């Protein structure tokens, strides 16, 4: 507050903060913003950050994955600076597969530079799988990792269908919590009752599922088929039955 010039304080990896004392300090700094101090937080999770209260008081601007995703032009520039010479159609395809996810685009560039074929690039690529394991799955509990890999067989995630897959009763709460901690789980409505996975992320999860338990995928598809059939969703029921 005593500085003459405006100050921007940037804190990265805020999701690693665990103690209540540290979170209280963070909240105090956030409340002190204004009067020349601006706080920029980068985090994989909202946990511990009073986002709703700050937004209600007009003190916060929140940028989610959709706002941070690269445009086609930005994707083309990144791929070009990585040394790739791709046609507009190829750039468009990579942008579609990554959904503009910057890390995904960079990993695609690295994979293609190492000789991978564009038609084969996806979540099963070793670089994507390693990144997903290191950056997303390694920090989760075993139960959450199992939930993510098991539900990767679904194209639309809701509490009831996930409960049917896993014989559980807490899937809705788990989905809401994981969506706050993982930008790759995208809400499909404002009530946070339905979700989908990022395309690269979900294919990486399916690769993990096949690696860890090759026989489980068929059973998960059968469970999903039975649940959708009971709900009258014939198209998804048939799709999962064929997949099984």
Range with lowest mean pLDDT among 9-18, 139-148, 177-186, 197-206: 177-186
pLDDT (tens digit, 9 = 90+) per residue, 28-57?
887 777 667 788 888 877 776 777 777 887
Q: Which pLDDT does position 186 carry in this prediction?
A: 85
Phi/psi-derived region of residue 30, left when phi > 0, alpha when psi is between -120 and 50, beta in every other case: alpha
Q: Which pLDDT does position 123 carry in this prediction?
A: 83
With beta carbons less than 8 A apart as the criterion, state whether 43 and 13 touch. Answer: yes
pLDDT (tens digit, 9 = 90+) per residue, 170-204?
999 999 888 877 768 888 888 888 999 988 899 99
Describe the crossing of helices 142-150 and 159-166 by its angle, rounded to 10 degrees: 110
Describe the crossing of helices 199-212 and 88-98 by its angle, rounded to 10 degrees: 60
**Residue 45: C-alpha distances to residues 14, 90, 157 (Å):** 8, 33, 20
Describe the crossing of helices 159-166 and 216-230 by its angle, rounded to 10 degrees: 130
CA dist 204 and 126 (Å) reads 9
pLDDT (tens digit, 9 = 90+) per residue, 75-127?
999 999 988 889 999 999 999 999 999 999 999 999 998 888 888 888 888 88
CA dist 108 and 91 (Å) reads 11
Phi, psi of 52, rounded to the nearest 5 degrees? -60, -45
Q: Give me the half-sphere count of Cα atoms (radius 13 Å) on the Cβ side of residue 86.
A: 28
Residue 60 has pLDDT above 90, yes or no: no
CA dist 28 and 20 (Å) reads 12
Identify the band that residue 1 occupies on the pLDDT scale cut at 50, 70 and 90.
low
CA dist 127 and 150 (Å) reads 21
CA dist 63 and 157 (Å) reads 23
The closest of 51, 52, 49, 45 to 15, measured between CA atoms, is 45
DSSP 34: B
């Amino acid at each position: 507050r005593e500085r003459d010039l405006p100050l921007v304080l940037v804190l990265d990896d805020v999701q690693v903060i665990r103690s209540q004392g540290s979170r209280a300090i963070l909240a105090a700094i956030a409340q002190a913003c204004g009067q020349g101090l601006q706080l920029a937080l980068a985090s994989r999770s909202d946990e511990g950050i009073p986002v709703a209260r700050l937004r209600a008081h007009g003190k916060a601007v929140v940028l989610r994955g959709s706002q941070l995703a690269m445009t086609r032009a930005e994707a083309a520039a990144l791929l070009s600076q990585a040394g790739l010479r791709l046609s507009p159609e190829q750039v468009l395809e990579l942008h579609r597969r990554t959904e503009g996810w910057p890390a995904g685009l960079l990993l695609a560039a690295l994979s293609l530079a190492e000789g991978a074929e564009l038609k084969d690039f996806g979540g099963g690529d070793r670089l994507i799988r390693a990144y997903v394991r290191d950056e997303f799955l390694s920090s989760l509990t075993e139960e959450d990792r199992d939930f993510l890999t098991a539900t990767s067989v679904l194209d639309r995630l809701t509490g009831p269908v996930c409960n049917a897959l896993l014989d559980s009763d807490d899937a809705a709460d788990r989905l809401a919590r994981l969506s706050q901690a993982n930008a790759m789980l995208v809400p499909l409505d404002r009530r946070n009752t339905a979700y989908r996975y990022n395309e690269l992320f979900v294919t990486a999860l399916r690769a993990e599922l096949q690696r860890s338990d090759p026989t489980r995928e068929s059973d998960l598809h059968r469970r999903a088929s039975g649940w959708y059939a009971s709900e009258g969703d014939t198209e998804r029921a048939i799709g999962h039955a064929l997949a099984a």
